[in-house]
Amino acid sequence: LATPSSARSAGVVGGADVTISDAASHGTPYWTPPPVRADATSTRASPGPDGAPSTSATPVSNSDIASSLHLALASATNEIDRLTRALETACALRDVAKTRVEEETALRVAAKAREDAAEAARAESEAAMHAAHASAK
């Protein structure tokens, strides 16, 4: 899973070291953005009318970047949770289907055993009938 520190090759966002909060190490899945200096800003080129970056740059504060990263991480975490639930549901459905197949197989084996027993009984009674018929002559 990518962390906000992987967003920058140096592992620094806006001059502040990116860290996972103490809450995250205790099970909270959300990243807490680092404190932002009041004077820290960067620039990001805004798209021009044709969609290409314009020559003028719009200042973007590090807190905006951190907030965007925080929202992206929260969204990714929610998507992971959704996919995890979908996987758990699929596994449960697979287990139910597997159980039904096993039950159906057991029923088929039992039915085949009953058919074989009935066929053996018929053959035995037919043999007894032939023996009785032959001894009656």
Q: Any idea which residue has 């680092």 for tokens?
A: 34
pLDDT (0 to 100) of residue 104: 98
If one counts the domains in the chain, the total is 1
9 lies in which domain range?
4-136
Please name the amino acid found at residue 128.
Answer: A
Residue 73 in tokens: 């991480």
pLDDT at 22: 47
At residue 2, the 3 state secondary structure works out as coil
The pLDDT value given to residue 66: 92
| pTM, 2 dp | 0.43
pLDDT of residue 60: 77
Give 79-133 pLDDT, tens digit per residue: 999 999 999 999 999 999 999 999 999 999 999 999 999 999 999 999 999 999 9
Instruction: Note the pLDDT tens digit of each residue in 14-58.
Output: 544 444 444 445 555 555 555 555 554 555 555 666 666 555 566
- Please tell me whether residue 137 adopts helix, strand or coil conformation: coil
Residue-wise DSSP of 7-75: GSTTSEETTEE----HHHHTT--SPPPPP--TT-EEEEEEE-TTSSEEEEEEEEEHHHHHHHHHHHHHH
Strands 53-61 and 41-47: antiparallel
At residue 59, does pLDDT exceed 80?
no
Strand partners, 66: none
Q: What's the rounded Cα separation, in Å, for the pair 4 and 77?
A: 13
Question: What pLDDT is attached to residue 61?
Answer: 87
pLDDT at residue 7 in the model: 46
Which tokens belong to 20?
A: 């996972």
